[in-house]
Chains A and B, each alone.
Chain A
Amino acid sequence: MNSNEIIDDIANKEYEFGFTTDIEMDIAPPGLNEDIIRFISAKKNEPEWLLEWRLKGFQAFKKLKFPTWQHFDLPEMDLQALSYYAAPKKKKQLNSLDEVDPELLATFEKLGIPLNEQKALTGVAVDAVFDSVSVATTFKGKLKEMGVIFCSFGEAVQEYPDLVKKYLGTVVPHSDNIFAALNSAVFSDGSFVYIPKGVRCPMELSTYFRINAQNTGQFERTLIVADDNSYVSYLEGCTAPMRDENQLHAAVVEIVALENAEVKYSTVQNWYPGDKDGKGGIYNFVTKRGICKGANSKISWTQVETGSAITWKYPSVILQGDYSEGEFYSVAVVRNRQIADTGTKIHHIGKGTKSRIISKGISAGHGDNSYRGLVSVGPRAENARNFTQCDSLLIGNQCGSHTFPYIESRNKSAMIEHEATTSKIGEDQIFYLNARGIDTEKAVALIVNGYVKEVLNQLPMEFAVEAQKLLSITLEGSVG
């Protein structure tokens, strides 16, 4: 196969994980208004303050406009045509995995995420979110022993209302942006994590999201609180079934790290990207932000973005505590008509704060990949330090790759470095490997693997494998 054929082949490759599951749904009528919000709130049996908060989010949503600064045309979205609540009908209280809908289990199996196996082999506690409502949570008992709270958001609201009330919306306020406001108003469920003082969470916490029912946007809300001297690594992975109609995913993730705490948040995202003409696909408009509240705390984002028609998110870190640290590692792959406008924002507020940004973009086919980032150093951030590297790899001459960094320094003692490069895979590199008996396809895979290694190295083991599998689809035969 010559290189062009390989590129065509890959560019046209069908989405491998496209299938739908038939489960009886409990769906709210389409439309967005106060009644729907009250309906969701009532359905979830929420306290009055949370309903108030949702309504405040709705008020903010009504006032906000869709942004226009992004480097792509925002598709027209009729948010009134969406249904804002869908939950698998609860048959009865579930105690073990055996009681979970077998069809749902089969779906996870097809995705290569068998709950049973994971439980047995990997020691990962999985909080499976299937269209908004958490249906199975494992390893809960073990975590409970250590005082770690890892449950669905709805459960947390019932059982730990004080904790939720204290931290909800403190990192991403209800009026932050239009999608965050929408999420605040209608969020269905999500995950809640609390790591108590001095606890090192013994296992990787993970959730798998799937978007299933047609016409339902998913609005998860994740809140992670790491108390003093604690540590947690949290994984999020996604695949979604094939759909013709675009689906909006506007999640919010909030992370709070108190003194000496460390939170590591990893994402592998492989939602349905649309077909080769850009029809269908998920809109992944997510607001992710963490705050290093206490001194010496650390938040690290790692993401591997291979799916979605449009990926639009900027996992950010506010470095408020002195000597706190923020990291952002990203690989974003676009092909066909995919669009990614992603990057990070790091706000250096406390003194001695450090940040590191590594972003690797790969564009193929007609894909459009943008890195957009902000590094700001406030006047109090003495001796702040930032290093940013964003590299882009172009495969084929129809794709685009862009970098839009914003660097703002208000402190003379800050050291900021930023570098960006754009290039294709060198013919000399391919030739070198060819000359050593490695065929072109493997050579490209080797080079690209080396190219993204810095980021994949940051992923926990279980994820690194999955991420590499996802990437290889795009990597093979990418001779420019």
Chain B
Amino acid sequence: MTSDTIMIPFYQALTEDVNALAAPQDSLQELRRSALQRFSATGLPTLKTEAWRFTNIQRFLKEYPYELTSTPATTTAAVANEASIPGLDAYRIVLVNGHLQADLSSIPEGKGIRIGAMSASTDAPGFAKWFNQHAQVNGEPLADLNTALFGDGLFIELQANVSIDKPIHLVHVYTSDRHAFIQPRHLWVLQRGAAATVIESTVHPKQEAVAFSNSVTEVVVADNAELWHYNVQQGAENFRQVNTTAAQQERDSRYHHFNITLPNTPFTRNNLSVVLHGSNTETNLKGIYLATGNQHVDNYTFMNHLVPNCNSNEHYKGVLLDNANAVFTGRIHVHQEAQKTNAFQQNNNILIGDKATINSQPQLEIYADDVKCSHGFTAGQFSDDALFYLRARAIGEEAAKALLVNAFTHDVTDEIAVPALQDYIQGQIEAIMNN
């Protein structure tokens, strides 16, 4: 993968002549070209695109004259340390704009473990088999754009029955001296019986330039494998993001995805899709979005039940302060063959800010009869009784509200299986509420 910078204002190039964005020259040329063609045929989503009804991505792309860059950048240990989670014992891997920075990373090694830059992993068997195979990547405009133009990312492949002794802490650093539109691309493959925990954090060095990340992560969890995947989105004013995570699960596998969106990033869109190819699987999709200011947070999730006897559980909790605007879409599709499916989904919201808004679309699409599926949605505010109870016990209003928000998000934070991370997230929520 070569490095180059395209000096055309990005949005203009996207709308005028998409082919001007010549894809990087590498062995994936053919794949990139067809993705670019698909993208130019569909174009950027508009408010008329059903999946983007409440999120005007064009507005956010037009905000700054972004440049398309895949130039490797580097960062310092001090910057990477900003993402450290107290008490967390993990392998830290630092990616700067998607490019692996080896000197700051401790990469787990051993038999059957292959972890490295995507650009150095195109020969891996897992890469050939799984790269860009997910239907939710092929055809989704922003994911297609990523396929066409991606720079680099992290490749993980664990052979059968290999597990990593400690979590991997993946630190994404986004830095650029010009407004940049960055396309990181990751592929994680867990072969039969493998197990891993990946914690993603983001760091944004203080700078004038704004980074817009359009990342794609493909996840494969093979037979009886298990992946715990935490995505902690610590925001920054100079950051915007579209994250596409496309997972597929084989027989008896477990995939646990946690998506925690914290304040400051003005625009966040998370596309999360899980497709079930093997039966007896377990899928947990948990999310918290705690938004302040004029933040716009859009979570789009898609559970695709193709086969029988699978269980999925989805629970997203939102706390919206100030003028924050949140969107939640939860699609559950149960195909005709997928009998004995249990699919549950819940989306709860507390609106605290006077101008806070929530748009929610929980959707069930069911073609099998022997299933149990449900979804629930609530929007409300603090219960006066609960507040009064706490205040009667000499807890100040702010502290009482922080306590209640912590209790509200507890359903999700309680499920975090890494104690240090759990403490950290709870601490962050409390700190934000006390501010």
Binding site for B on A (CB under 8 A): 69, 379, 392, 394-424, 480
Interface check B170, CB cutoff 8 A: no
Which residues from B are CB-within-8-Å of A396? 369
Which residues from B are CB-within-8-Å of A401? 364, 366
Residue of B nearest to A410 (CB): B357
| B339 with A397: CB separation less than 8 A | yes
Which residues from B are CB-within-8-Å of A411? 351
Residue among B354, B364, B370, B376 making CB contact with A480, cutoff 8 Å? B370
Binding site for A on B (CB under 8 A): 50, 336, 339, 349, 351-381
CA distance A403 to B370 in the complex (A): 17
| A407 with B361: CB separation less than 8 A | yes
Q: Quote the shortest CB–CB distance from B52 to chain A (angstroms).
A: 14
CA distance A419 to B375 in the complex (A): 6
Q: A414-B380, A424-B370 are in contact. List 11 more A-B contacts (CB 8 A).
A: A394-B368, A399-B369, A402-B364, A402-B366, A407-B358, A415-B378, A420-B362, A422-B371, A422-B373, A423-B371, A423-B373
| A408 with B377: CB separation less than 8 A | no
| B363 with A397: CB separation less than 8 A | no
CA distance A392 to B367 in the complex (A): 12
| A418 with B358: CB separation less than 8 A | no
- Contacts known (A410-B357, A418-B378); A400 close to B373, Cβ less than 8 A: no
- Contacts known (A69-B50, A480-B369); A422 close to B364, Cβ less than 8 A: yes
Which residues from B are CB-within-8-Å of A405? 360-363, 377
CA distance A405 to B363 in the complex (A): 7
| B366 with A394: CB separation less than 8 A | yes
CA distance A399 to B368 in the complex (A): 7
| A416 with B377: CB separation less than 8 A | yes
| A397 with B377: CB separation less than 8 A | no
Which residues from B are CB-within-8-Å of A404? 361, 363
| B370 with A412: CB separation less than 8 A | no
Q: Quote the shortest CB–CB distance from B318 to chain A (angstroms).
A: 11
Per DSSP, are chain A's interface residues mostly helix, strand or loop, or mixed?
strand
Q: Quote the shortest CB–CB distance from B51 to chain A (angstroms).
A: 12
Residue among A397, A410, A417 making CB contact with B336, cutoff 8 Å? A397
| A392 with B380: CB separation less than 8 A | no
Which residues from A are CB-within-8-Å of B349? 409
Q: Quote the shortest CB–CB distance from A4 to chain B (angstroms).
A: 13
| B362 with A402: CB separation less than 8 A | no
| A398 with B336: CB separation less than 8 A | yes
Residue of B nearest to A415 (CB): B380
| A419 with B374: CB separation less than 8 A | yes
Which residues from A are CB-within-8-Å of B364? 392, 401-403, 420, 422
| B375 with A409: CB separation less than 8 A | no
Which residues from B are CB-within-8-Å of A415? 378-381
Closest 7 CB pairs of A and B: A394-B369, A412-B351, A418-B377, A421-B374, A416-B379, A407-B360, A422-B373
CA distance A404 to B50 in the complex (A): 12
Q: Quote the shortest CB–CB distance from A417 to chain B (angstroms).
A: 5
CA distance A417 to B368 in the complex (A): 26
Which residues from B are CB-within-8-Å of A407? 358-361, 377, 379
Q: Quote the shortest CB–CB distance from B294 to chain A (angstroms).
A: 15
| B368 with A397: CB separation less than 8 A | yes
| A400 with B367: CB separation less than 8 A | yes
Residue among A394, A395, A416, A480 making CB contact with B378, cutoff 8 Å? A416
Which residues from B are CB-within-8-Å of A420? 362, 364, 374-376
| B370 with A422: CB separation less than 8 A | no
Residue among A400, A412, A417, A418 making CB contact with B365, cutoff 8 Å? A400
29 A-B pairs with CB atoms under 8 Å apart are A379-B355, A392-B366, A397-B336, A397-B339, A397-B370, A398-B336, A399-B369, A400-B366, A401-B366, A402-B363, A402-B364, A406-B361, A409-B357, A412-B351, A412-B356, A412-B381, A413-B381, A415-B378, A416-B378, A418-B362, A418-B375, A418-B377, A419-B376, A419-B377, A420-B362, A420-B375, A422-B373, A423-B371, A423-B373
Which residues from A are CB-within-8-Å of B378? 415-418
Residue among B361, B369, B379 making CB contact with A395, cutoff 8 Å? B369
Residue of B nearest to A363 (CB): B369
Q: Quote the shortest CB–CB distance from A306 to chain B (angstroms).
A: 19
Which residues from A are CB-within-8-Å of B354? 412
| B376 with A409: CB separation less than 8 A | no
Which residues from B are CB-within-8-Å of A394? 366, 368-369, 371
CA distance A407 to B329 in the complex (A): 10
- Contacts known (A392-B366, A398-B336); A423 close to B372, Cβ less than 8 A: yes
Which residues from A are CB-within-8-Å of B374? 419-422
- Contacts known (A405-B361, A406-B361, A422-B374); A416 close to B369, Cβ less than 8 A: no
Which residues from B are CB-within-8-Å of A421? 372-374
CA distance A373 to B353 in the complex (A): 26
- Contacts known (A416-B378, A424-B369); A406 close to B359, Cβ less than 8 A: yes
Residue of A nearest to B321 (CB): A412
